[in-house]
Amino acid sequence: MVVIQKFRHTRRAAGAQLRRLLSVIAVALVACGPAATPATPAPTAGAGGAAAAPAGTPAQAMGPATLVVYTALEDDQLQRYLPVFQKAYPNIKLDIYRESTGVVTAKFMAEKANPQADVVWALAATSLLAADQEGMLQAYAPRGLERVNEQFRDRRSPPTWVGTDVWESAFCVNTVEIKNKNLPMPTSWEDLAKPVYKGHIVMSNPASSGTGYLSVASWLQLYGEDKGWQYMDQLHENIAQYQHSGSKPCRVAGTGEFPIGVSFGYRGVTQKNQGQPLEVVWPKEGSGWDLEANALVKKNTVKPEARTFLDWAIGDDIMKEYAKSYPITTVKTSEPIPPGYLTDPLKQLAKNDLAWAAKERERILKRWADKYDGKSEPR
């Protein structure tokens, strides 16, 4: 039996309700049957333990268990991904807290002394690196780790975080609106700083959005510290509003509220494939990027179902679903590159030091807020 309860978590933001806390999927734990090659629970370990799940071990019969899962996945992705877990584990209850990356990260970090989440699923790797620096993650090697590309996971053994896919910056351009306003089609980051676009651009606030932060971190690495801030000074002159969501700039570009939204590829590609008058522009200098990644939260008692979830979260069945959203997954799949993406997505990625971006995150965001937060939409 599956019970789905939907919550609404609200945040004041420019006349819109923010997206919801998604599901509570309920059950009583039973021994796993042969369905859908589920990953098996590993033995319970305390906060200091770190062990890989033993392959081939039958699932243990347990009482009802609830996992609290923090994630920054898009709502439409969760609608596709969660049924895959339900099919494999119909008797594990998931309490999903879903928000933008910056909001999830801030909540998670604030709970350091009393963590509420059991696992973190598909949060920015830079956020998990910051949490790891605070000692908030427990090392764990999920079953199937050997399949994961080493450049997309913590290379320690066992790792504290494991990536699932790559998301990259792009901008969404409303082709009808730029024609109506007699604006040229931008093709680069440099183009967006030209005076002709003044008041026509929205982008994600990097403090509340991982998408916003990956763009800012990319500019500082692309141009260097001094020139990177100079670039943002010029871009700021053209920004109409910084929005508290990675996807919202693309959404409002799609409706024509603003002609250009600096966002991320998945959202733009999805909206264009739905028929909206959008062009997804991959900046010629390269796209900033980050990984969606998973981690086990360090707690006095770690539920075995948390390890089961992390095993599943890099398994073949869900990797195929990730590959329908993103062209770069950390485990190879047979899925084709989704329509609308570049044929060589790896080539588009700009040089990016994730460890540096995580280490410098607090400093960068403070300076960014001091300089530019006046144009942020109300919370």
**What are the extents of the domains in the chain?**
4-166+290-325, 168-289+346-375
More confident residue, 37 or 59: 59
pLDDT confidence bin for 65, thresholds 50/70/90? confident
**Cα distance between residue 27 and residue 90, in whole Å:** 7
> DSSP code of 208?
T
Question: Looking at residues 358-366, what average pLDDT do you find?
Answer: 95
Q: What is the pLDDT of residues 11-41, one digit of tens each?
A: 333 333 333 333 333 332 222 333 333 333 3
CA distances (Å), origin 227, targets 86, 133, 200, 220, 364: 49, 28, 23, 8, 14
Give the model's pLDDT for residue 156.
96
Q: Are 26 and 302 in contact (CB under 8 A)?
A: no
Residues 6 or more apart in contact with residue 239 via CB below 8 angstroms: 201, 202, 203, 372, 375
Task: Inform me whether the pLDDT recorded for 375 exceeds 90.
Answer: yes
CA distance 353 to 364: 14
Half-sphere exposure of 330 (CA within 13 A, CB side): 29
**pLDDT over 50 at 51, yes or no:** no
Q: Which fold has domain 4-166+290-325?
A: D-Maltodextrin-Binding Protein; domain 2 (3.40.190)
**Is there a shared CATH topology between the 4-166+290-325 domain and the 168-289+346-375 domain?**
yes
- The answer for residues whose C-beta is within 8 angstroms of residue 67's C-beta and 6 or more apart is 92, 93, 94, 95, 118, 119, 303, 305, 306, 309
- Of residues 192, 102, 152, the one with CA closest to residue 290: 152
Q: Which residue has the tokens 């901008």?
A: 171
Phi, psi of 273 (to 5 degrees): -65, -20
Tens digits of per-residue pLDDT, 145-191? 999 999 999 999 999 999 999 999 999 999 999 999 999 999 999 99
* Cis amide leading into 43 (omega within 30): no
CA 103, CA 5: separation in Å to the nearest integer? 22
Q: How far apart are CA 39 and CA 178, in angstroms?
A: 49
pLDDT of residue 64: 62
Phi, psi of 298 (to 5 degrees): -75, 120
Question: Is residue 71 pLDDT above 80, yes or no?
Answer: yes
pLDDT at residue 252, rounded to an integer:
98
Q: What is the mean pLDDT of residues 225-229?
A: 98
Query: From the centroid of its chain, how far is CA 24?
Result: 20
Q: Is the dihedral of CA 73, 10, 101, 238 positive or negative?
A: positive
Which among 129, 64, 73, 124 has a CA at the least distance from the CA of 96?
A: 73
- Correct CATH for 168-289+346-375 of 3.40.50.720, 2.60.40.420, 3.30.70.1020, 3.40.190.10: 3.40.190.10
pLDDT band at 63 (very low <50, low <70, confident <90, very high): low
